[in-house]
Amino acid sequence: MRTVPTVSALFGAAVALASATAGADTTLCVGDIAGLRTALQAWTGAPAGVFTIAVMRGTLAVDNAAGATLGQFPSNSAASLRLLGGYGPGCAERQLDPRTTIIDGRNEFGAKLQLIGVRGDVLIEGLSFTRLSDGVEVVHDGSVAASGHRLRVAHSRIVGNDTTRGSGIAYTLRLWGVGAGSGAEVAVENSLIANNVNLGFGLTSVLTTGSGGRIVLTGSTIARNRVDVGAAGLRLQTFEAPGIGYVVTNVIAWGNGTPGVSYDIDVSNAQTPPLTHTLAGAIDGAIVPTTTNLATDPRFLSATGNFRLSPTSPALDAGDATQPTLPAGDLDGGPRVAGAAPDLGAYESTPGDRIFYADLGG
């Protein structure tokens, strides 16, 4: 793998990339919004291979007035992208904890991460996205076959984003895996989507695939997102129907929208998917019947901001330890299985946690 030093100026990444041979893998290390933007621009024209952007720990803040912008990146490249947070100085080491690497849009108008025309795999891992006024989107090129490609958000936090502060016509999170009559794998794994605001057009967060593709939603919490009447905290949908696969398990979707008029998960355009070991309030659409799901208050430590589980939560040890994408750690970096089975949602509660919070009164 070709490793390039820290990128912080406009031409740093471009010069480094120009010297890479066709088809070579490339790694760039960035520590601010300018460097991130430059690296993403370099990816859009990179030769085929794996293009890794390693993001150093800290807060990368958008500041439109200072030229520190983050927006749309149309790709003309078949290079796969790995956007990875948690790196130390010089990207010499990594700690996988999304709380340490924050992309902060500061509610600036048009602040977004929008990767469009994707023609390979995309992995976003170990990052927090907050106060982006136009959200996070990964959109596959519709003219290129999506089959075999993977668009994934893993071990990340998408929290406190408000699309009413931007164009107003934006998704909180959108993974679009449809291309040339086929579908990619679109996945959210071990992640938190919470306290976002998406009002006006019912766009919310959406995972979409096409024929032969797969939707994966595992070990994640979708909670307390403000959405329109009839909308949901997260929508799963498919196009070009044949051969869709699903892995939806160990999930909590609770407290999204207004009770009675909004939903926690919308599967009405998802061909009756099998949801297992999932705690969800209101579901729009039909799912495969199962005895492993719950529809009761998950009893978070705080209903407004701390989405870890209290000692009395019904989601404790209610997960499936056999699910194929079960990671070694939870969103905080602790062990993913600390009891008889994994907990539902993004956070695992250890026996010590349960005793500690019980002593504090739950």
Average pLDDT over residues 268-288: 96
Please give the Cα distance from 184 to 244 (Å, whole number): 10
Per-residue pLDDT tens over the stretch 325-335: 899 999 999 99
Check pLDDT > 60 for residue 230.
Answer: yes
Q: What pLDDT score does 325 carry?
A: 83
Domains of the chain by residue range:
96-359
Return the higher-pLDDT residue of 307 and 21.
307
pLDDT band at 4 (very low <50, low <70, confident <90, very high): very low
Check pLDDT > 70 for residue 360.
Answer: no
Check pLDDT > 70 for residue 278.
Answer: yes
Tell which phi-psi region holds residue 190, choosing left (phi > 0), alpha (psi between -120 and 50) or beta. Answer: left
44-48, 82-86, 165-169, 184-188: least confident range: 165-169
Return the higher-pLDDT residue of 18 and 260.
260
Per-residue pLDDT tens over the stretch 41-91: 999 999 999 999 999 999 999 999 999 999 999 999 999 999 999 999 999
Check pLDDT > 90 for residue 298.
Answer: yes
Q: What pLDDT score does 274 carry?
A: 95
Average pLDDT over residues 215-235: 97
Please give the Cα distance from 81 to 98 (Å, whole number): 18
Average pLDDT over residues 221-238: 97
pLDDT band at 200 (very low <50, low <70, confident <90, very high): confident
Q: What pLDDT score does 17 carry?
A: 37
Q: What pLDDT score does 14 carry?
A: 35
Please give the helix or strand (H or E) that residue 34 lies within, else none.
Answer: helix 33-44
Percent of the chain at pLDDT > 90 equals 85
Per-residue pLDDT tens over the stretch 77-122: 999 999 999 999 999 999 999 999 999 999 999 999 999 999 999 9
Q: Which two tokens stand for residue 191?
A: 């992640």
C-alpha to C-alpha distances, 279 to 3, 45, 356, nearest whole angstrom: 43, 42, 24
Per-residue pLDDT tens over the stretch 125-146: 999 999 999 999 999 999 999 9
Check pLDDT > 50 for residue 224.
Answer: yes
Cα 261–chain centre separation: 25
Please give the Cα distance from 150 to 135 (Å, whole number): 20
Please give the Cα distance from 115 to 200 (Å, whole number): 23
C-alpha to C-alpha distances, 134 to 113, 115, 123, nearest whole angstrom: 8, 12, 20
Q: What pLDDT score does 55 carry?
A: 99
Per-residue pLDDT tens over the stretch 202-220: 889 999 999 999 999 999 9
Check pLDDT > 50 for residue 12.
Answer: no
What angle do helix axes 33-44 and 10-18 make, rounded to 10 degrees? 30
pLDDT band at 353 (very low <50, low <70, confident <90, very high): low
Q: What pLDDT score does 243 carry?
A: 87
pLDDT, averaged across the chain: 91
